[in-house]
Structure 1
Amino acid sequence: MSDVPSPASAPSRLPRIVAVLAARNEERFLKTCLENLFRQGVEVYVCDNGSTDRTVEIAKAYLGAGVIGIEHIPFDGTYQWERILQRKEALFRELDADWLMHVDADEIHLPPPGHASIAAAIAAADAQGYEAVEFAEFTFLPTREAPDHDHPDFVQQLRTYYPFRPRSPHCVRAFRKQPVPMEIAWSGGHHVRFQAPGKPVQPPLFPEQFRMKHYIFLSADHASRKYPGRKYHDDEVNRLRWHGWRPRLRTEQIALPSAAHLRTTANDDDLDSTSPWTKHWLDQCAAS
């Protein structure tokens, strides 16, 4: 952090930002996710994990228009998150970019309030010598009063949410490209570290949090199709202690909260990160 340039000396060129997005059967979310990233000045490389729906077809429609590449990761019937994250790490080394992002299809990423785009906000962070940014997570849920948002207009119509932050930092999702390995698998994708000689280093974070809207499910039926029945890798569940409530959630446990238990946003600039939840709503359902 020595010799940090002043804002006045910040470069006029926006950085080239490439997000690596892995998806399996995400046709509901992918178009919305991609188009938001493009508006934010972010290009996308897509890793498809054996989708059987229109995920690849949708991604191909944007080749040369924001999507810079598509590759296929075979699916053997088991969700293997560690293998996917390790492939992302390899791509971080290979892709031509100034900054990189790790994203999922059911997320909408936004800059901090007051910044025109993610690219502009990252340019400001980069000019001040920071090498990574954290995204505050806002988890959006349907409610008993408005139970079904499984349609293309979910971003516009689903406005009820809770802030989620089980640890600090929670979601370090963008970072400056390094000449050394950039690792995310060690943290399940939540944090990045740079494998510098001698020991790994976690980079200093830009003090302003970016925002991430997470659409974990869009209706009770969507949740029942997404989670129960999914097979997780035993090593990830038992040794790494990943996936939390997901492997044990049963369809009959899925319930929707009342809108009174959540917050409502009128526009993205009023998202409230205070008093965050430390457990997801479905984690509480799975414990019942």
Structure 2
Amino acid sequence: MRIIALLALRNEALYLEHCLTHLADQGIETLVMDNDSTDDSLEIARSFLGRGVLGVERLPYPGYYDWQGILRRKEQLATELDADWFIHHDADEIRQSPIPGQTLSEAIAAADAAGFDAIDFREFVFLPTGRDLDARGADYVTALPHAYYFQPHPEHRVNAWKARGQSVDLVSSGGHRAEFAGRRLSPERLILRHYPFLSWNHLVDKYRHSRRYSDYEVQELGWHGKRACFDEGEAWLPNIEDLIRPDADGWQTDRVWTSHPFLGGEQP
């Protein structure tokens, strides 16, 4: 079974080597779309050609974060590439099976064998537990062991789907759900580790300085929420006792966060 992760990125050098290594180890190939990165992202992606990365293409940067354009390109690639399954993937994500010893590709193959053609992921957000903790340049998966379970609405992360020759709609949900006619969603959800920032300074730089959003997407589509108007004064980090440690305590979902504290959201 051939599974391809569709990975668009701009200036994700902090994450990219770990992300691409993990996907290859999990039996997943990756098609990288580089959005005119100005850091080492393009060089890192090209270094993985032939060892997990099947291709690197340029996605021109129009001067702002064109999320709709990125999603439409992923929809197009899913009709052109020869694969059995696709994953809509970002560089700051690590996806896995909840079953120890089972690879991501094996988990997707099990869903396929059971007759399902789409998979939802439980999202766990891993983040620094203090403003002095900086995981940039480190093994951030090891350095940031604490997380919260994030699910603002049902079917929040239906990001893997079976290629049936049909067109898939990613845009309508802003990338949260792969939608197509006759979809059969697996009841077995997989795991998404999300690492949106690796230090407090990284958070502030990412949303205040580095990323410019599309006015159309913000004003007309209602996308990006508080990311588009980030206020450092509203951002906060949870205490360790308010978080879980999944690698030690399991993937606990009894406490559900529906908004992000680093964007000024409230505790559940």
- Whether the aligned pair in 2 keeps the contact of 1:138 and 1:273 (CA below 8 Å) is no
Please, which runs of 5 or more residues in structure 2 have no aligned partner?
Answer: none
Q: 1:128 to 1:141 in 2, by over 3 A?
A: same
Counterpart selection for 1:139 from 102, 122, 125 = 125
Give the distance between the partners of 2:13 and 2:5, measured in 1 at CA: 18
- Whether the aligned pair in 1 keeps the contact of 2:5 and 2:29 (CA below 8 Å) is yes
Give the distance between the partners of 2:100 and 2:197, measured in 1 at CA: 29
Q: Which residues of 2 match residues 255-274 of structure 1 at below 5 A?
A: 255-267=236-248, 270-274=250-254
Name the SS for the 1:256 alignment partner.
coil
Counterpart selection for 2:260 from 280, 285, 288 = 280
- Whether the aligned pair in 2 keeps the contact of 1:224 and 1:254 (CA below 8 Å) is no
Is the aligned partner of 1:126 residue 2:112?
yes
Q: Give 4+ residue runs of structure 1 displaced > 3 Å after superposition.
A: 251-255
Counterpart selection for 2:215 from 210, 229, 234 = 234
Identity of aligned residues (%): 42
Give the distance between the partners of 2:48 and 2:256, measured in 1 at CA: 36
Q: Which residues of 2 match residues 235-254 of structure 1 at below 5 A?
A: 235-254=216-235
Query: 220-229 or 51-60: which moved more?
Result: 220-229
How many equivalent residue pairs? 265
The match for 2:163 is 177
Name the SS for the 1:122 alignment partner.
helix
Query: 128-137 or 152-161: which moved more?
Result: 152-161
Query: 177-186 or 50-59: which moved more?
Result: 177-186
Query: 1:221-243 CA deviation, whole Å, 9 max, x = no partner?
Result: 00011111322111111111110
Give the alignment's TM-score, normalised by structure 2. 0.94
Is the aligned partner of 1:211 residue 2:197?
no
- The Cα of 1:113 is off from its aligned counterpart by 1.6
Please, which runs of 5 or more residues in structure 1 have no aligned partner?
Answer: 1-14, 195-200
- Whether the aligned pair in 1 keeps the contact of 2:131 and 2:200 (CA below 8 Å) is no
- Whether the aligned pair in 2 keeps the contact of 1:134 and 1:206 (CA below 8 Å) is yes
* Structure showing greater Rg: 1
RMSD: 1.7
The match for 2:200 is 220
The match for 1:117 is 103
- The Cα of 1:114 is off from its aligned counterpart by 4.6
Give the distance between the partners of 2:66 and 2:18, measured in 1 at CA: 25
Counterpart selection for 2:17 from 28, 31, 38 = 31
Q: 1:174 to 1:270 in 2, by over 3 A?
A: same
Give the alignment's TM-score, normalised by structure 1. 0.88
- The Cα of 1:145 is off from its aligned counterpart by 7.7
